[in-house]
Structure 1
Amino acid sequence: MPKPRTRLKHQLFKSQARTAACSILANALPTQSGEAIVFRPIDALALDAFNGWGDGVHFSWEEVPLWKAREPWSFDLSIWCGSELCGLCFANPNQSRLRTKIIRLEGNPDIRHPLKNRVAAVAMLAVEHYAQKVGSRWLEIQEPAQEAMKVYQELGFKFDAFGRLVIDLKKVEHHLRCTINNQNGGDMPVTTPTPASPKTKPHSESKPRGATTSATQQRFLRVAVNGSKADEPSGVLAGSPL
């Protein structure tokens, strides 16, 4: 059982990660409805909304309190656009905390929800913030849904020598900064994309401009702003529901 001070640190890291990701999205991704994108824990409100997703193959998200009790470093995330629940995510660092694994990721099965084609990118943005705070070097998708493989590849994930679907945060940071510097002919910071107009076509490209973010966040954010070109599947994106 973690000490009270340790538990407080866990909660602080989680809250800071959700808040930071929300702030970036608020500036970069206005929605058609004008509703804000908000990250919250998977709480009673989220579970109540999840029950409205209807029949189908889902995770047992009602067991999240038990998961969190067993894994105090875990990161739980409910993704909202206004009053609509668009996605749920559960991630957990390994024992050394060098690798943060996305254990379960599920999007709202209704294809009309406002973050369709953006759930994975938006979730990764928040998880990456948390991974950086706990000192992880890699993000790993555990049991990626086959239908979502092209989405993860678009986000920069690759299979390593052990067959794990990962992204090396430090390697991507170095590579993308070098690429951007070469394109701009100098030492230019990586920045967030210009806010997209609600009428902008999902696949139109937004140019970087604005507040500085990490290179990995920049890549995730580009997909979040423009929408996935790979046609993100509805429902389960990572993990194996029982």
Structure 2
Amino acid sequence: MSRRNDHLKFQVYRGTAYRRALELLAEEQATLDPPDIDVSRVRLEPITHAAVEASDGWGEEGALLSWEDVSAWKHKWPKGIDLALWYGVELCGMAYANARDSRITIKLILLEGKPDDTHPLKGYVLPVTLTAIDAFARMLKLQWIEIQDPATGAIPWYQQHGFAFDDQRRLVISVGAE
């Protein structure tokens, strides 16, 4: 298969993963807290310049990785999934994960929720992101989702969502474990 066909195939996979995450969120509407979240206003889409601009000021100054880098990574490594999580016109979170050349693992490289505690999807950025990454990883027939270089303070949050350290000290969850 040509590289161009691979890019198209992975683009279709990403779109399918976005839809699956939103479908699952809609199915769980009754269990959401608060239950009045209007899931019809939730969107998942690729990270665009508009999303990067909306996230300006979220992260730490001088961070090694930035959202501006994602555009180049998407072209260099097509086996990745990038997502911007919106509620109406408000950007609530972004993530980037990539399998690169692996046939086993997809690594969650960047994940960030809007630091404002009042945004409407507070507490849902990681679960929605994981659902999309898991769906993408299934299409790639991968076995693990790994958190690349997890921030120490975020480790308990990942563990609450099913991640655990393996014997190689990687913070992982098995694909399909959601």
Aligning the two structures, in what range does the TM-score lie when normalised by the shorter sequence? 0.7 to 0.9
Alignment map for 1:72-221 (pairs within 5 Å):
72-169=78-175, 216-217=177-178
Partner of 1:223 in structure 2? none
Separation of aligned partners in 1, 2:115 and 2:103: 32
Runs of 5+ unmatched residues, structure 2? none
- Shift in alpha-carbon separation, 1:18–1:149, aligned structure 2, 3 A: same
Task: Give the alignment partner of residue 39 of structure 1, picking from 40, 44, 56.
Answer: 44
Distance 1:7 1:80 in 2: 24
SS of the aligned residue for 1:88 comes to strand
Q: Which residue of 2 aligns with 1:197?
A: none
Q: What is the rounded CA distance, in whole Å, between the counterparts of 2:169 and 2:98 in structure 1?
A: 19
Alignment length (residue pairs): 170
Structure 1: distance between partners of 2:58 and 2:11:
31
Classify the secondary structure of the residue corresponding to 2:55.
helix
TM-score of the pair, normalised by structure 2: 0.86
Aligned residue for 1:110, secondary structure, equals coil
Tell me by how many angstroms 1:32 deviates: 3.6
Distance 1:153 1:110, change over 3 A: same
Shift of 1:54: 5.5
Q: Deviations over 1:129-162 (max 9, x none)?
A: 1111111101101111211111111111111111
Give the drift of 1:69.
Answer: 1.3
- 2:74 corresponds in structure 1 to 68
Query: Alignment partner of 1:18: what SS?
Result: helix
SS of the counterpart of 1:166? strand
Q: Which has the larger radius of gyration?
A: 1
Gaps spanning 5+ residues in structure 1: where?
A: 174-215, 218-242
Aligned letter for 1:77? L
1:4 to partner: Cα distance: 1.9
Kindly indicate whether the alpha-carbon contact (under 8 Å) linking 1:25 and 1:37 is maintained by their aligned counterparts in 2. no
- Matched AA of 1:97: R
Residues 8 and 155 (structure 1 numbering): CA distance in 2 closer, same or farther, change over 3 Å? same
Q: RMSD over aligned Cα, in angstroms?
A: 2.0
TM-score (norm 1): 0.65
CA deviation after TM superposition for structure 1 residue 96, in Å: 2.9
Q: Match for residue 7 of structure 1?
A: 7
CA separation of 1:37/1:6 partners in 2, compared to 1, >3 Å: closer, same or farther?
A: same
Residue type of the partner of 2:48? Answer: D
Deviations 1:68-90 (A, max 9, x none): 11111111011111211111100
Q: CA deviation at 1:168?
A: 2.1
SS in 2 for 1:87: strand
**Aligned partners of 2:77 and 2:100 also within 8 Å:** no
CA distance in 2, matches of 1:76, 1:8: 15
